[in-house]
Structure 1
Amino acid sequence: MRVYFTFDPRPDLKESLLRDFPEVDFVFHKKIDAEELAKAEVIVTYGEDLDEEKIKIAEKVEWIFVASAGIEKMPAQAIAERGIIVSNVRGIHKKPMAESILAHLLSIKRALPFIYKNQQEKTWNQKTKLYELNGSTALILGPGAIGSEVGRMLQAFEVYTIGLNRSGESAPYMNETHTMDKLEELLPKADVVISILPSTKETRYLLTYEHFALMKESCIFMNFGRGDLVKTEDLIRALEERKIFHAVLDVYETEPLPADSKLWDLDNVTISPHISSRSSRYLERSFEIFKPSLRKWMKGERDLENKMDILRGY
């Protein structure tokens, strides 16, 4: 069996694969080589380097393992037509992303940017407002693995958590869970709105200017899912008109965020360059999912962890 990595993992992780799977022929490249792609039966990728032409070249491929949660940049139709199985690393981001979300939230509530600015300017200034996270209500759009971990952390601060998902089925660490059609009803109740939704046909531009108008003026909006949840111009308008208190963004419609974007100039937005999921343990956790799946695959089993519906996008 030939397994082709379209990226080059760190040496210790490669060594663990070679040691644990001596019967597998592993190939590691920093970019795709067409000749190697044509020989591969399994591809391990971050997903952004595959297109329809490369899927045609990969005639032998039956399984693509994506070392990322998002698959929206992959050639879904071409993959589906071939019947190629796709699985990903959904869930490994929950620890670093939840910590990032909590860090940003506490930073705003406890005025850390103000404190850091004063330190740089050697200024003793106590004239700022400080708020508590305790006793607030958080509306979490997409209470899956990441959202539930965020909920667990928030509940430790005695935050009331409300989750919104497609099914309305109860989610871990949510005080309430509802279907997405309750969005407009629940937005006015939230002190914090956190989106961890993927990019799908259903979630694209789900939030509009009118939704921000429904939020409290003291609300903090946090987007850590995908940038096409809301049109940039709608978000900018809501921020300029102070419909909400602050926005924390880790994802954007266009990435990298253009230098001429108005978002850079607003004082009520925090811009994070899509790094909330990064961690020194990222690939280590990815391999903890890939290796058991590879063992299953070699036994002829196809019920892999995080097996995805490529056309649905999750």
Structure 2
Amino acid sequence: MVNVYFTFEPREDLRKPLITEFPQVDFVFDSKLDTEKLRAAEILVTYGEDLKAEHLQYADKLQWIFIASAGIEKMPAEAIASRDIFVSNVRGIHKKPMTESILAHILAYKRALPFVYEQQKKHEWNKKARLSELNGSTALIIGPGAIGSEIGRILQAFDVYTIGCNRSGEQASFMNETHKLDVLKDQLPKADIVISMLPSTAETKHLLTREHFEIMKDSALFMNFGRGDLVKTDTLVEVLTEKLIAHAVLDVYEIEPLPAESPLWEMENVTLSPHFSSHSSRYVERSLDIFKPSLHKWLAGDRDLENKMVILRGY
């Protein structure tokens, strides 16, 4: 039997159908990574944060790592690559909950919902809020992949003009225009909303500098839902202190959790979310919807699996 080792425990209602569907598989479920159980594993299913380079010395039989996450920056990429272990992930799984989170933040900002909630707490009837509309605006989506394209689809339903920037410049789904990242500075002045969905790679680290914010509209809303090392924290603090843009919504940070002493906590023109915009009660369910067809293929000797990754490239 093929040994599949989960380093997390799916709910019972998800676990039972999985076991029933694959009678030829020996599933092992645990709440953390155990080196003894890893020894027997041919397939490892993990969120990606528990596996360290030193663990691979015990994983003699390991052939495939399925990561129930989109990001792999905390994984021992070089050690995995040196063993030529197959890696795939759940890219695209986050697109529904993340799009809903991003849209919620945009509408809350445009329609002054934080102000509404604050007045309710004070028992005050106060109409002195600055309300604006989403329709008719332009959104620049940096990294219009699976999630970014879904954001574009929803924003277009609100009559938002969408511009995408990616590495290739090839047309992305639900973008009115798509350009190469090389010309990002040409696109930034056009945007009312700038949304980054970029992964963490050597090319994207600190990609955005003060100069990028200086050429944005002073009324712009900047949103980072990709990875926190896109821009230095000190740069963000400067930009927001000097009000080079109107507001920022951050779900990711250079250091996580965001330190309690960070000046970002005290700033009125920033909304801070604790890197949970992708969370959903359906997360593991959607992960298994990707894993199960891939496992059927793997058992049949087919290695053309969904979301195959080049581990050293980072995606």
Gaps of 5+ in 2: none
- Provide the C-alpha distance between the structure 1 equivalents of 2:72 and 2:149, rounded to a whole number of angstroms: 21
Runs of 4+ aligned residues of structure 1 deviating over 4 Å after TM superposition are none
Alignment of 1:66-105 (within 5 A): 66-105=67-106
Look up the equivalent residue of 1:110 and give its one-letter code. R
Matched, 1:46 2:47: yes
- Provide the C-alpha distance between the structure 1 equivalents of 2:91 and 2:40, rounded to a whole number of angstroms: 27
| Matching residue of 2:239 | 238
- Per the TM alignment, residue 143 of structure 1 is displaced from its structure 2 partner at its CA by 0.5
- Provide the C-alpha distance between the structure 1 equivalents of 2:183 and 2:192, rounded to a whole number of angstroms: 16
| Matching residue of 1:283 | 284
Give the count of matched residue pairs: 314
- Per the TM alignment, residue 16 of structure 1 is displaced from its structure 2 partner at its CA by 1.1
| Matching residue of 1:221 | 222
- Give the secondary structure class of the aligned counterpart of 1:285: helix
| Matching residue of 1:158 | 159
| Matching residue of 2:16 | 15
- Per the TM alignment, residue 210 of structure 1 is displaced from its structure 2 partner at its CA by 1.2
- Provide the C-alpha distance between the structure 1 equivalents of 2:296 and 2:13, rounded to a whole number of angstroms: 19
Look up the equivalent residue of 1:247 and give its one-letter code. A
| Matching residue of 1:133 | 134
Look up the equivalent residue of 2:92 and give its one-letter code. G
User: What is the Cα-based RMSD across aligned positions, in Å?
Assistant: 0.5
- Provide the C-alpha distance between the structure 2 equivalents of 1:244 and 1:57, rounded to a whole number of angstroms: 51
- Per the TM alignment, residue 61 of structure 1 is displaced from its structure 2 partner at its CA by 0.3
- Provide the C-alpha distance between the structure 1 equivalents of 2:310 and 2:136, rounded to a whole number of angstroms: 39
Look up the equivalent residue of 2:231 and give its one-letter code. V
- Provide the C-alpha distance between the structure 2 equivalents of 1:241 and 1:83, rounded to a whole number of angstroms: 49
Look up the equivalent residue of 2:79 and give its one-letter code. A
| Matching residue of 1:305 | 306
Q: Give the TM-score of the pair, scaled to structure 1.
A: 0.99
Q: Give the TM-score of the pair, scaled to structure 2.
A: 0.99
| Matching residue of 1:116 | 117
Partner deviation per Cα, 1:74-103 (whole Å, 9 max, x = no partner):
000000010000000000100000010000
Identity of aligned residues (%): 68
Matched, 1:107 2:89: no
| Matching residue of 1:36 | 37
- Give the secondary structure class of the aligned counterpart of 2:5: strand
- Provide the C-alpha distance between the structure 2 equivalents of 1:197 and 1:83, rounded to a whole number of angstroms: 26
Gaps of 5+ in 1: none
| Matching residue of 2:199 | 198
Look up the equivalent residue of 2:104 and give its one-letter code. A
- Provide the C-alpha distance between the structure 2 equivalents of 1:128 and 1:2, rounded to a whole number of angstroms: 59
- Per the TM alignment, residue 8 of structure 1 is displaced from its structure 2 partner at its CA by 0.8
Look up the equivalent residue of 1:208 and give its one-letter code. T
Look up the equivalent residue of 2:81 and give its one-letter code. A
Partner deviation per Cα, 1:161-194 (whole Å, 9 max, x = no partner):
0000001111110000000011111111100000
- Provide the C-alpha distance between the structure 1 equivalents of 2:239 and 2:253, rounded to a whole number of angstroms: 16
Look up the equivalent residue of 1:67 and give its one-letter code. A
- Provide the C-alpha distance between the structure 1 equivalents of 2:117 and 2:14, rounded to a whole number of angstroms: 38
Look up the equivalent residue of 2:9 and give its one-letter code. D
